Protein backbone atom coordinates (compact mmCIF):
# COMPACT_ATOMS: atom_id res chain seq x y z
CA UNK A 1 0.00 0.00 0.00
CA UNK A 2 1.40 3.40 -1.00
CA UNK A 3 0.67 6.99 -0.08
CA UNK A 4 0.97 9.46 -2.96
CA UNK A 5 0.39 13.18 -2.41
CA UNK A 6 -0.87 12.44 1.12
CA UNK A 7 -3.58 10.04 -0.08
CA UNK A 8 -3.70 6.25 -0.07
CA UNK A 9 -3.36 4.96 -3.59
CA UNK A 10 -5.71 2.07 -2.70
CA UNK A 11 -8.46 4.32 -1.31
CA UNK A 12 -11.37 5.93 -3.08
CA UNK A 13 -11.02 9.67 -2.37
CA UNK A 14 -14.21 11.56 -1.50
CA UNK A 15 -13.27 15.08 -0.37
CA UNK A 16 -14.82 16.38 2.83
CA UNK A 17 -15.40 20.11 3.28
CA UNK A 18 -14.73 19.59 7.00
CA UNK A 19 -10.98 20.08 6.83
CA UNK A 20 -8.40 22.77 7.35
CA UNK A 21 -4.65 23.20 7.35
CA UNK A 22 -2.59 21.97 10.27
CA UNK A 23 -0.99 24.78 12.29
CA UNK A 24 2.31 22.90 12.18
CA UNK A 25 2.36 20.64 9.09
CA UNK A 26 5.38 18.69 10.38
CA UNK A 27 3.66 17.97 13.72
CA UNK A 28 2.10 14.63 12.89
CA UNK A 29 2.58 12.29 15.84
CA UNK A 30 -0.61 10.34 16.66
CA UNK A 31 -2.96 7.84 15.02
CA UNK A 32 -6.47 7.68 16.49
CA UNK A 33 -8.72 4.66 15.89
CA UNK A 34 -12.48 5.29 15.84
CA UNK A 35 -15.59 3.41 14.82
CA UNK A 36 -18.78 4.57 13.18
CA UNK A 37 -21.90 3.21 11.52
CA UNK A 38 -24.88 5.14 10.23
CA UNK A 39 -27.60 4.56 11.06
CA UNK A 40 -26.12 3.13 14.26
CA UNK A 41 -25.50 -0.59 13.90
CA UNK A 42 -26.15 -0.65 10.15
CA UNK A 43 -23.26 -1.36 7.80
CA UNK A 44 -22.70 -0.71 4.11
CA UNK A 45 -24.82 2.44 3.96
CA UNK A 46 -23.83 5.83 2.58
CA UNK A 47 -24.55 7.53 5.92
CA UNK A 48 -20.92 7.97 6.97
CA UNK A 49 -19.94 9.52 3.65
CA UNK A 50 -23.00 11.76 3.78
CA UNK A 51 -22.10 12.86 7.33
CA UNK A 52 -18.48 13.61 6.37
CA UNK A 53 -19.57 15.54 3.25
CA UNK A 54 -22.40 17.51 4.92
CA UNK A 55 -25.06 15.83 2.77
CA UNK A 56 -26.82 13.76 5.46
CA UNK A 57 -30.59 14.05 5.06
CA UNK A 58 -32.20 14.41 8.52
CA UNK A 59 -35.47 13.01 7.13
CA UNK A 60 -33.82 9.72 6.04
CA UNK A 61 -33.57 8.26 9.55
CA UNK A 62 -34.70 9.51 12.99
CA UNK A 63 -31.10 9.40 14.33
CA UNK A 64 -29.93 11.67 11.52
CA UNK A 65 -32.05 14.52 12.88
CA UNK A 66 -29.69 14.79 15.85
CA UNK A 67 -26.42 14.71 13.88
CA UNK A 68 -27.10 16.25 10.44
CA UNK A 69 -25.87 19.65 11.66
CA UNK A 70 -22.45 18.32 12.71
CA UNK A 71 -19.33 19.31 10.78
CA UNK A 72 -17.04 16.31 11.20
CA UNK A 73 -14.66 14.21 9.13
CA UNK A 74 -11.94 11.61 9.37
CA UNK A 75 -8.97 10.92 7.20
CA UNK A 76 -10.02 7.38 6.37
CA UNK A 77 -12.87 4.87 6.70
CA UNK A 78 -12.24 1.14 6.55
CA UNK A 79 -15.52 -0.57 5.71
CA UNK A 80 -16.36 -4.06 6.97
CA UNK A 81 -15.59 -5.34 3.46
CA UNK A 82 -12.07 -3.86 3.63
CA UNK A 83 -12.91 -1.06 1.20
CA UNK A 84 -10.93 2.11 1.92
CA UNK A 85 -12.53 5.56 1.64
CA UNK A 86 -10.39 8.64 2.22
CA UNK A 87 -12.02 11.98 3.01
CA UNK A 88 -9.07 14.17 4.03
CA UNK A 89 -5.44 14.06 2.86
CA UNK A 90 -3.13 13.05 5.71
CA UNK A 91 -1.23 16.35 5.66
CA UNK A 92 -4.44 18.26 6.43
CA UNK A 93 -6.44 18.41 9.64
CA UNK A 94 -9.59 16.30 9.76
CA UNK A 95 -12.24 17.08 12.36
CA UNK A 96 -12.43 13.70 14.08
CA UNK A 97 -11.30 14.01 17.70
CA UNK A 98 -13.30 16.89 19.14
CA UNK A 99 -12.38 17.92 22.66
CA UNK A 100 -9.44 15.64 23.33
CA UNK A 101 -6.14 15.17 25.14
CA UNK A 102 -3.18 12.86 24.55
CA UNK A 103 -0.44 13.00 27.15
CA UNK A 104 0.02 16.67 27.94
CA UNK A 105 -1.34 17.84 24.57
CA UNK A 106 -4.88 18.95 23.80
CA UNK A 107 -6.72 19.43 20.49
CA UNK A 108 -5.63 16.10 19.03
CA UNK A 109 -6.93 17.04 15.56
CA UNK A 110 -3.87 19.32 15.27
CA UNK A 111 -1.35 16.47 15.31
CA UNK A 112 -3.23 13.26 14.54
CA UNK A 113 -4.62 11.07 11.79
CA UNK A 114 -8.15 9.77 12.36
CA UNK A 115 -9.05 6.31 11.06
CA UNK A 116 -12.65 5.13 11.30
CA UNK A 117 -13.60 1.47 11.25
CA UNK A 118 -17.12 0.72 10.09
CA UNK A 119 -18.62 -0.85 13.16
CA UNK A 120 -19.92 -0.34 16.64
CA UNK A 121 -18.07 -0.30 19.92
CA UNK A 122 -20.14 -3.24 21.16
CA UNK A 123 -19.53 -5.73 18.35
CA UNK A 124 -16.51 -7.49 16.81
CA UNK A 125 -14.69 -6.05 13.83
CA UNK A 126 -14.11 -8.01 10.61
CA UNK A 127 -10.79 -9.74 10.01
CA UNK A 128 -10.27 -7.81 6.77
CA UNK A 129 -10.55 -4.55 8.72
CA UNK A 130 -7.55 -5.53 10.86
CA UNK A 131 -5.63 -6.58 7.74
CA UNK A 132 -6.36 -3.25 6.07
CA UNK A 133 -5.70 -1.25 9.24
CA UNK A 134 -2.27 -2.86 9.62
CA UNK A 135 -1.47 -2.13 5.96
CA UNK A 136 -2.59 1.50 6.37
CA UNK A 137 -0.51 1.93 9.55
CA UNK A 138 2.54 0.47 7.82
CA UNK A 139 2.08 2.87 4.91
CA UNK A 140 1.67 5.83 7.28
CA UNK A 141 4.80 4.90 9.26
CA UNK A 142 6.80 4.50 6.05
CA UNK A 143 5.66 7.91 4.77
CA UNK A 144 5.61 10.02 7.93
CA UNK A 145 8.67 9.43 10.15
CA UNK A 146 7.17 11.45 13.02
CA UNK A 147 4.51 8.73 13.52
CA UNK A 148 5.27 5.63 15.59
CA UNK A 149 3.61 2.45 16.78
CA UNK A 150 3.93 3.73 20.35
CA UNK A 151 1.48 6.54 19.58
CA UNK A 152 -1.62 4.75 18.32
CA UNK A 153 -4.69 5.10 20.49
CA UNK A 154 -8.46 4.93 20.55
CA UNK A 155 -10.95 7.77 20.57
CA UNK A 156 -12.07 6.50 23.98
CA UNK A 157 -8.56 7.14 25.34
CA UNK A 158 -8.26 10.75 24.16
CA UNK A 159 -11.84 11.68 25.09
CA UNK A 160 -12.63 9.51 28.13
CA UNK A 161 -16.14 9.85 29.46
CA UNK A 162 -17.23 11.44 26.20
CA UNK A 163 -16.39 8.72 23.67
CA UNK A 164 -16.33 4.92 23.88
CA UNK A 165 -14.94 3.89 20.50
CA UNK A 166 -13.48 1.76 19.14
CA UNK A 167 -14.70 -0.11 22.23
CA UNK A 168 -14.03 -3.27 24.16
CA UNK A 169 -14.40 -5.50 21.09
CA UNK A 170 -11.49 -3.84 19.29
CA UNK A 171 -8.55 -6.25 19.54
CA UNK A 172 -5.48 -4.08 20.11
CA UNK A 173 -3.34 -7.23 20.04
CA UNK A 174 -4.14 -7.58 16.32
CA UNK A 175 -2.22 -4.43 15.46
CA UNK A 176 1.30 -5.30 14.39
CA UNK A 177 3.86 -4.11 16.93
CA UNK A 178 1.39 -2.16 19.06
CA UNK A 179 1.55 -3.32 22.67
CA UNK A 180 -0.93 -1.00 24.38
CA UNK A 181 -3.66 1.37 23.41
Active site (catalytic) residues:
116
In this structure, the strands spanning 112-118 and 30-36 are parallel
- Alpha carbon distance 26, 52 (integer Å): 25
Of 61, 76, 78, 71, residue with least CA distance to 20? 71
Is residue 28 within 8 Å of 151, Cβ to Cβ? Answer: no
φ/ψ (deg, to 5) at 12: -85, 125
Amino acid sequence: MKIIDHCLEAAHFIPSPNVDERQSPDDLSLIVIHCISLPPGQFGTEGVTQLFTNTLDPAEHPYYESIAHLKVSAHLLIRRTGELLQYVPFNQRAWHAGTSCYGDRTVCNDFSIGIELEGTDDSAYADIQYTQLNAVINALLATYPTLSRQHITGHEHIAPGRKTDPGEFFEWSRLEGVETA
